[in-house]
Chain A
Amino acid sequence: MSLGGVLRGLTGAGVRFVVIGGVAGVAHGWSRITNDVDICYDPKPENRERLAAVLAGWHGYLRGIEPGLPFTIDARTLRDVPVLTLVTDEGDLDVMHRVQGVGEYAAVEAGSETVVIEGVPAPTLTLDALIASKRATGRRKDRQDLIELEALREERRRRGM
C-alpha cells in the first residue's frame, strides 16, 4: 500500500500511463499533501485491458459511493467513462485518458518527463503542463494551486532548476 506499490503494479502489468495531479506537483517541489494518485492512461484497447485487469485485481470501487451499487471494472467501463475516481487496495486512484488544458494521452505523454519514484521510473507531467491543466480546469479551488505552482516555477527558474 504505497505510491511505489501503485506505480510498480501499473508498470509491472505493462500499463502505459503518466502520473499527473498532486503527485506530479510534489515531484517538482510543490508542498502539497494529497491522498490520491492521479494518472492519465493510453486509451488504446490493449492498454485499457491491462489497466482494467490491474484495477480489478486491486478491487477498485467508486470512491465516496456506498458499497452495493453494481460496478463492473473492465475495459468497456474505461472506454465509456472518461474519468474514474476509485478506492483500491493500493489507495485512492483517479484514472483518466485526457487532461484538460493539455489534451489526449499523446499530448500528455509529450508533456511529461521521467521521475524515479521509489525506484520505479515513471513518466510524470511537467510543471508547465500541470500549470496549463490547472489553468484550464478553472475551478475555484484550483486558483490557489495555480498561484502556488506559478510561484514554484518562477522559484525553480531563479535557482536554475
Chain B
Amino acid sequence: MTLGQFAMAVGASPRWVLNALARLDLPRRYGESLARRLALARFVSEAVQMPLPEAMRLAERMLREADPLGTWRLEGKGGIALVVDLPRFFTTYGANLALALNRYGEKPRGRRPRRRGSAVERARAYGIDLTLFDSALRRTPEERLRLLDENMQVMRRLRSAAK
C-alpha cells in the first residue's frame, strides 16, 4: 500500500498517519496488519480521549484476545467500562480498506498542463483513438449498454476461469 492508501484504510489523513507513526516510534511500512491496529487505536483514542500510545496497546491486546464476532469489554474503576463492538469496527475498517485498494488514485502534482485547442484536438494529441466515438455514437444508449453488459459477462467468465 502507498501512504495514501494506508491512510484511507486507517480512516485518517496521510499527515495524521505520519505523526502517529512518529509518536508510536513505528517504521513507515504500510501494511494491512499495521493499518488494522492503527485504525482500531484511532477509534479508541478518539472515542475516550485516550493518548494514542495507550490506545495502540489496547488495540493490539483487543485484536489478540477478542472474538472478532463479539464485543470486547474492559472494566475500569467506578463502574466504568469500555465496550467495543468488533464486528462493527471490522465492517468500517474493511470498507475503508476495500476503498483504498479499489478506488484510491494518486493525484498528479504541479500545475495542470495548459489546455490548447479543442477537446477533440487535445484527445487526438493525447493519443486517444477517436474512431471509437463514431461506432459508439451510431448506437443507441441501450445498444451501447447491451454491448457493455456482454463485455462484462465475458470478463466475469474469464475471471472465474482464472481463479
Using a CB–CB cutoff of 8 Å, the interface residues on chain A facing chain B are: 1-4, 23, 26-35, 62-65, 69-73, 76-77, 80-81, 83-86, 91, 94, 115-118, 137-144, 147-148, 150-156, 159, 161
Using an 8 Å CB-CB cutoff, how does the interface string of B118-146 with A read, 1 for contact, 0 for none?
11101110101010110111000110111
Structural contact, B142 and A26, CB atoms closer than 8 A: no
Q: How large is the interface on B (under 10, 10 to 19, 20 to 34, 35 or more residues)?
A: 35 or more
The residue that B153 contacts in the complex, of A1, A83, A116, with Cβ under 8 A, is A1
Q: Which 5 A-B pairs have the closest CB atoms?
A: A139-B105, A151-B123, A31-B132, A150-B119, A62-B98
| Bound CA–CA A59/B152 (angstroms) | 19
B135, chain A: closest CB distance, angstroms: 8
The residue that B120 contacts in the complex, of A1, A70, A94, A154, with Cβ under 8 A, is A154
Structural contact, A2 and B92, CB atoms closer than 8 A: no
The residue in chain B whose Cβ has the minimal distance to the Cβ of A64 is: B101
A75, chain B: closest CB distance, angstroms: 12
Given A27-B141, A64-B101, A147-B128, answer yes or no on A81-B122 (Cβ-Cβ < 8 Å).
Answer: no
| Bound CA–CA A152/B126 (angstroms) | 14
Interface of A is mostly: mixed
Given contact pairs A63-B102, A70-B69, enumerate 7 new A-B contacts (beta carbons under 8 Å).
A2-B152, A27-B145, A34-B148, A77-B91, A118-B145, A137-B105, A147-B126
A147, chain B: closest CB distance, angstroms: 5
